[in-house]
Structure 1
Amino acid sequence: MDTVANHPDPAFPRFHPRPAKGWINDPNGLSYVDGRYHVFFQYNPDSARHSAIRWGHLSSPDLVRWVEEPVALRPQPGGPDALGCWTGVVTDDDGVPTAAYSGVDSTDGKSRVVLARGSGDLTAWTQDGHVAAGMPPDPQVTAVRDPFIFHFQGRRYALQGAGLASGRAAVLLYGVDELRTWKYEGVWFSSDQPLAARHLPAEIWECPQLVRVPDSSGAETWLLMASLCLSGDLHEHANGVGYLLGSVVPGIAGQPVFAPETGGKADLGRDFYAPQILPLPKRTLLWGWSPEAARGGERPGRSQEQTDDAGWAGILTFPGQLSVHGGALAVEPAAELQAYRGARLYAGAAGTLSLPRYAEAHVSGGEGRIRLILRSMRGQRTVFTEEAAGGDDFRIFVDASIVEAYHHGSVPTTVRAYPDPDEAWQLELPHGASADVWELRYPDDA
């Protein structure tokens, strides 16, 4: 994106697409239409703070070259989204691209599902304020948000994340035979379930999603993923994002019933939240949100004043490709990201390696601890560390202030760090490990 190539802030990412200014958070409305990927996202172009939320829009033919499109959805004065167009999805409704999102018009935390119609190329949107679902008439439901649409046995359904009066987190189920009128079916799944209590501890489940994921065993495996919100959370979410794997079978009146079998964390880092999944015929992709990290202790973060001065906040992660191996979720970087590899700085190197501000390291073999650190004459800070066993394989991306470390056959670790002017990146490899390292560049760069 031309707007970011020469950004004045050294912490600004060059290869993770986002506008040059403003606040961004959750990816929304992931779509693949006529050979282009579309990523919408929560957006405030006017400041680096979380307010007056719109839907921003990026598109790409190849997951490498991104174009910033016009703002898609805006709060409508007097409408059900007057205080923000919040998280949702884009679906096809009889050939018409349609956004289903959380609209908010009051400060009581209650939201409604609002629809907007898009053009065929998703670049123009009509908002008439149509409400497809209000707060459910259910006294146990105290908070609702983030609609997600899926299909099961030829019928269309939707989920919303929720919090219950009991303090439990839940997913609500809706029948959506007619997109303009959703039928509330009740609390579908909650943290009462033992595996959910273990792997998805929260007071509200945000951004719930239910998709089939390719399983190396050949089984039909369903993934339920949710972001784990606690009442004290602001923009850092200590519980992160959890997932459950299992099966979906028909229940009463053919409605889907989810039977979990195992679970875990979708990302092992502190700076990953609110992902959205894009199921495609031959693969399943995921983008997440990496918020700015607050400074504290050894945490290489930024104060709110520093973020305000910088004029931007939030990064969308690289697209990850989902699969299931051995009953666990695995996330690999999308193959297209190899197009960012520029000059090879190391080939089969060992020991301690110096990395530039934009780099990819492919680490293989070895036994012991991998460490990515920021080092200066004043000392060092560990940004990422993980134990490697024989045969393990890692791909570690550094893009200014975001680090994404992918462990082959497992889930990644996403962290934020802000190098001081006198600090440099170094990668410490365990005994027996070797690494290839590339400087990142755009394919069109000379």
Structure 2
Amino acid sequence: MTQTQPQINSGHRSTGTVAHLRPAYHVRPPSGYLNDPNGPIEHGSDVHLYFQSRPTLDLRAPVEWGHATSPDYVHWTLHRPAMAPQPGGPDTDGCWSGNTVLDDGRIHAFYSGRVEGRPYQSVLTAVSDDGGASFGPAHQVVPDPDEAVMFRDPFVWKENGTWWMAVGAGSVDRGASIALYRSPDLSQWTAVEPLAELPRTRAGGEDTGSAWECPQVLTIDGRRIAVIASWSPEGGPGEVLSFDVDVPPATQRVDLGTNFYAASALRESRFGPLLFGWLPEGRDRPGWNDGWAGVISLPRMVWLGADSSLRSAPVPTMDTLRSGSASPTAIGAQCEIVVPEGVGEVILHFGDQERLQIELTDTTITIDRSQASLAPHAHGGRMVATDAFDPSSGRPAVRIFLDGSVVEAFTSAGRVLSTRVYPTTPPPWRLEAPANTQCWGLAR
């Protein structure tokens, strides 16, 4: 039986002046290092979300699959890890990224197993017989490649009665690719032609990578949309990109902020197709002085824009976190700021010398965190999204979610910018914004 741990906002807080930086309504364990979300799945009345997790900040510790559940995608309960490395097994040095599927009432996980010294992470499967709380022994389902730059992160789905598996890959000669397999029964897998390939290039100013991590495949408006994380041996993680797999890849960024990677998709949910992502730290490693790092993004409904780019909005149940109107002169670390329409500036004044500036024009949104923190290890910089607003959408011009050090901004045209800020001054903070701005405190 899995022992349920306290709710995410149950009082696990850092001591000292950094306590206000800890997220309260985003998913993350009380301590340790978190990165990729894995395998979100609806089972019964709950959604299960798994994620790569280490109990400490020591990156040499083997990765486990952390586990959280929610009845509504907003109020999350943390549980014991659902999967841990098997000593001497095919994942003895880490249970890495993958996804889950439901078949005959059982949840099947497909993921990458790491063994120190092996050139590739093996594609493994394991089955849960207790509703997703834990998974049994793992075994390998497809052979390791003969030669590749990278090979990992399976994503399995069922389409027209056939099971399909996409695996992130890359080769010196052919560039980044999504390897593809098919199966009638989740057991026997046959390799077919790659789902997509792209020699390394720059598209829209972005490096498409020499290999692709965390491939996800969605079906939207009858089109197969791939979501990948670009990667290179010398540079590591790049950006999350999307493209239509049935036309020559024209990649576009999924999130226009500075801190979003390793997206994980739920192809079908009560809100349609969804994405989760990893919000890595926006501070150098010496600044991780409070025992935790990494956060999972808010779940995002996704659709295609007129330019075929993937657009996003928060799930509608996010409204249930609103705890009453907040005073602009006393903003807390957990709040939602909404500008219904128009142009202007939203400025979060953290202190006399710390502020986050968000500028709205007729077409663009710019987030400037160059003055957001006096902390020596905090990152700065500006991020811009064009074609940001669609007054006919029925959505506000921008919804800004603040949760400690996390900022996620969603525009009416479905653009999203995720970033991290580290003000040294604790709340209350002051909001300067257009007269029509609304603000709510958020509480779980």
- Whether the TM-score (by the shorter chain) exceeds 0.5 is yes
Mapped contact 1:56–1:70 kept (Cα < 8 A)? yes
1:303-335 CA distances to partner (integer Å, 9 max, x unpaired)? 42331x311111001111111232332200010
Instruction: Choose from 404, 409, 412 the match for 2:408.
Output: 404
Matched, 1:314 2:294: yes
Is residue 394 of structure 1 aligned with residue 398 of structure 2? yes
Superposition deviation, residue 355 in structure 1: 3.0
- RMSD, aligned CA: 2.6
Q: Structure 2 vs 1, CA of residues 145 and 425 (structure 1 numbering), >3 Å: closer, same or farther?
A: farther
Q: What is the CA distance between 1:5 and its match in structure 2?
A: 3.5
User: Which one-letter code corresponds to 1:312 in the other structure?
Assistant: W
Are residues 1:289 and 2:304 paired? Answer: no
In 2, the alpha carbon distance for the partners of 1:61 and 1:361 equals: 25
Query: Shift of the alpha carbon at 1:273?
Result: 0.4
Q: Structure 1 CA distance, aligned partners of 2:347 and 2:10?
A: 25
SS in 1 for 2:170: strand
Residue 136 of structure 1 aligns with which residue?
145
TM-score of the superposition, structure 1-length normalised?
0.82
Partner SS state of residue 305, structure 1: helix
User: Which residue of structure 2 lines up, in the alignment, with residue 39 of structure 1?
Assistant: 49
> 1 CA distance for matches of 2:439 and 2:195?
47
Correspondence for 1:117: 127
Distance 1:58 1:163 in 2: 32
Q: Is the 8 A contact 2:335 2:401 kept in 1?
A: yes
CA drift at 1:386: 5.0
Q: Tell whether 2:340 aligns with 1:360.
A: no
Among residues 27, 31, 35, which one is paired with 1:17 in the alignment? 27
CA-CA distance at 1:10 after TM superposition: 2.0
Task: Give 2:167's match in structure 1, choosing from 139, 153, 160.
Answer: 160
Distance 1:32 1:381 in 2: 39
Counterparts in 2 of 1:203 and 1:51: CA distance versus 1, 3 Å: farther
- Say if 1:28 and 1:422 are closer, same or farther in 2 by CA, change over 3 A: closer
> How far did residue 54 of structure 1 move?
0.5
Cα distance 1:195–1:304, how it changes in 2: closer, same or farther (>3 A)?
A: closer
Bigger drift between 90-99 and 200-209 goes to 90-99
**Shift in Å at residue 165 of structure 1?**
1.5
Q: Which amino acid aligns with 2:30?
A: A
Q: What is the letter of the counterpart of residue 225 of structure 1?
A: V
For structure 2, the residue ranges without an aligned partner over 5 or more in a row are: 1-5, 364-388
Residue 382 and residue 105 in structure 1: after superposition, are their counterparts in 2 closer, same or farther (change >3 A)? Answer: same
| Residue 201, structure 1, aligned to residue 240, structure 2 | no
Decide which of 211, 229, 232 is 1:230's aligned counterpart: 232
> For 1:82 and 1:36, how far apart are their aligned partners in 2?
30
Tell me the alpha carbon deviations over residues 3-38 of structure 1, each in whole angstroms, 9 at most, x when there is no partner.
534313221101112211111111111110001010
Where does residue 274 of structure 1 map in the other structure? 262
* Aligned partner of 2:325 among 340, 344, 356: 344
Q: Is the 8 A contact 1:211 1:279 kept in 2?
A: yes
TM-score by length of 2: 0.83
Is it true that 1:419 corresponds to 2:423 in the alignment? yes
CA distance in 2, matches of 1:47, 1:193: 33
In structure 2, distance between residues paired with 1:93 and 1:440: 37
In structure 1, C-alpha distance between the alignment counterparts of 2:80 and 2:292, rounded to whole Å? 18
Supply the AA of the counterpart residue of 1:364. Answer: P
Report Cα offsets for 1:198-223 as digits up to 9, x if no partner.
7671122111111112xxxxx42322
Determine if contact 2:202/2:208 at 8 Å carries over to the other structure: no
Q: Secondary structure of 1:69's match?
A: strand
What is the distance in 2 between the residues matched to 1:396 and 1:353? 17
Residue ranges of structure 1 left out of the alignment (5+ in a row): 214-218, 247-257, 295-302, 347-351
In structure 2, distance between residues paired with 1:175 and 1:202: 26
Note if contact 2:32-2:293 (Cα within 8 Å) is conserved in structure 1: yes
Give the 3-state SS of the residue equivalent to 1:126 in structure 2: coil
CA contact (8 A) 1:200 1:243 kept: no
